[in-house]
Amino acid sequence: MEDKNIDLEQLNNEETPAVSAEAPSDAPAKSKKPRRRGWFFMRLAIFVCISLMALTYFIYVFTPKYPYGICSLFNYYGTDKSTIDVLAVGTSLCYTDLNTNVLWNEYGIACYDLATAEQPFWSTYYYLKEAIRTLKPKVLLLDLKAISYLEDKVDRTRTVLCSFGILNPISRLKCIYECVEPEEFLGYALAFSQVHTNYYKTKPSDYVIPPDNGGRGPSWKGYIEKDEHADHDPPSINFSFATPKYVNEHESEYFEKILQLCVDNDLTVMLIGYPNADYKHDHLYYCAAFEIAEKYGITGINYNLPQYSTGINYHTDCADWQHLNVSGSVKFTRAVGEELVKYYDLEDHRGDPAYASYDECAEKWFEKYPQYRWSY
């Protein structure tokens, strides 16, 4: 019995070194496993990043490059923000009526039109948040047209136009959320499903970053001319300054958010009622907008009122029932320029090399419309 115990002890003693001797050989194998897992996750992360970059690029390619859509914001990102003194934000009335080339040529005012077609106030809010991250304009011109919009949401086309140009992913998703019904949000947030059918419409210019802005080039400042002509009578206005029966709560909410954002960032704001032949339907809504803005100490000019004559002839200066044509934009912009020079400390930058892009933009435009060139 003792011999067996001795043999057992000897066996244990003999095996122990053997196990110890083998332990180091297992150590490298065990240490390789975490390393392999690390490489796997690194490769996975690289793959995901490349896939997301490729998807983002193709979403950009298939998104229509209309000047009245994503182009004004994309072009803004590439513009030298230090050269923008006046920033105009809002709807199509903003980019068709306010002629940045006339402001530059005749007053030396460096202005940028940051606007999209039928832009609701919630889109204007997120556009403005993007803009003031890198810019504090001396004057902000805020278009009031959206106060007359009656819908809580917008259709697919307007959602793409008004939100897909926003590069900040958080602001973009928030803007999309405000544009669509909750059950539609994911499809718009992923974006590809909304634009992939445009693949057959793509042109070589659609693959270029930044976009060519409808052939206007990177010096473009957001103004989009309309050459059409429509004959309208001057709008008949009901001057009873009563609160309208209905102002869309969604638009009103974001109008106030814009005003509060301006107050918080100490922005000088001028509200603009852009002239349009259909104004008789908007008058009471514009009155409500000015009334709301008074609470924030903000005011401006409604150019549809007789006391703010711009010399516009509604029979010759309209492109359609809402927008001015080129001749109308020149007359209107001169009226705005006079007010800007009169009430705000805006420097005349003509001749300053830092503002060469404004010279380039205006020169291209006046080559097409030489009859409106003004020599100073």
Cα distances from 68 to residues 119, 189, 201, 284, 298, in angstroms, run 10, 21, 18, 27, 28
pLDDT at 211: 82
Task: Enter the tokens of residue 331.
Answer: 């007359």
Burial state string for 199-212 with b = 16 or more CB within 10 A and e = fewer than 16:
eeeeeeebeeeebb
Cα separation, 100 vs 84, whole angstroms: 11
Residue ranges per structural domain of the chain: 63-372
Cα distances from 240 to residues 281, 292, 360, in angstroms, run 13, 17, 46
Total number of residues shown for the chain: 376
Q: Which CATH superfamily is domain 63-372 in?
A: SGNH hydrolase (3.40.50.1110)
Hey, what amino acid is at 338?
E
pTM of the prediction?
0.83
pLDDT at 57: 75
pLDDT at 374: 77
Rounded mean pLDDT for each run of 10 residues along the chain, 376 residues in total: 47 46 52 72 81 74 81 91 96 97 97 96 96 94 96 91 90 94 89 71 80 87 95 82 76 97 96 94 92 96 92 95 96 96 94 96 95 76
Cα separation, 127 vs 96, whole angstroms: 18
| SS3 at position 375 | coil
CA 211 to chain centre: 14
- Give the DSSP H/E element, type plus range, for residue 302: strand 299-302
